Structure 1
Amino acid sequence: MASLRLDIVTPVSRIRTADVHMVVVPGTEGDFAVLAGHAPVLSTIRPGTIEIYAHPSAEPERITVDGGLAEANDTSLTILTGDIKLLG
């Protein structure tokens, strides 16, 4: 199973770096899921909750963000945001 490299970055620090199965992002045009092999995309993010799935059957880790940018390609997803709140 291929994995996706996730980086979540704020102006102050790198919040999370991990290899994950899937991430659901609250895009301004609607939520979208990113898995390994995703086509290149750059999207703005609305305030909402990012769901991080470590593996296919995992319960998601949830992180709220106040908006930002997401850049995805076939091997990685980088999220740039201002403020976050870890929900577990």
Structure 2
Amino acid sequence: MADKLHFSLVSPERELFSGDVDQVDAPGSEGDFGVLAGHAPFMTALREGFVTIHEGDKVHRYEVQGGFADVTPDGFTILAEHARDAGVASA
């Protein structure tokens, strides 16, 4: 079994997503980026765009408007200024 990445997406109102996933793509202030398990630690600001979460055969999408992304050895957390669920699809 491949390694999983623990990911949390949090807005000021509530936690929108938390779980072990395969990959997360996000809209960084310097450009889009993807994170897999074992990624090197870093922190960056986010711009408006979509966070795409790959969880097995499901793809979750959330629209975010600013915030911060923090990748640590324990996982990946996004603290979004505003976020809303944009749906789930099959990969």
Fold shared per TM-score above 0.5 = yes
Structure 1 outlier segments of 4+, above 4 Å = none
The range that moved more, 63-72 or 78-87, is 78-87
Q: Is residue 52 of structure 2 the alignment partner of residue 51 of structure 1? A: yes
Q: Is residue 37 of structure 2 the alignment partner of residue 41 of structure 1? A: no
Give 5+ residue unaligned stretches, structure 1.
none
Q: 1:36·1:75 contact (CA, 8 Å) conserved in 2?
A: no
Residues 30-58 of structure 1 show CA distances to partners (whole Å, capped at 9, x for unaligned) of: 00000000000000000100000002xx3
TM-score by length of 1: 0.90
User: Which protein has the bigger strand share?
Assistant: 2
**Percent of residue pairs bearing the same amino acid type:** 36
Separation in 1, partners of 2:7, 2:31: 20
Separation in 1, partners of 2:58, 2:67: 24
TM-score by length of 2: 0.88
The 5-angstrom pairing of residues 64-79 of structure 1 reads 64-79=63-78
* 1:61 aligned residue: 60
Separation in 2, partners of 1:74, 1:59: 24
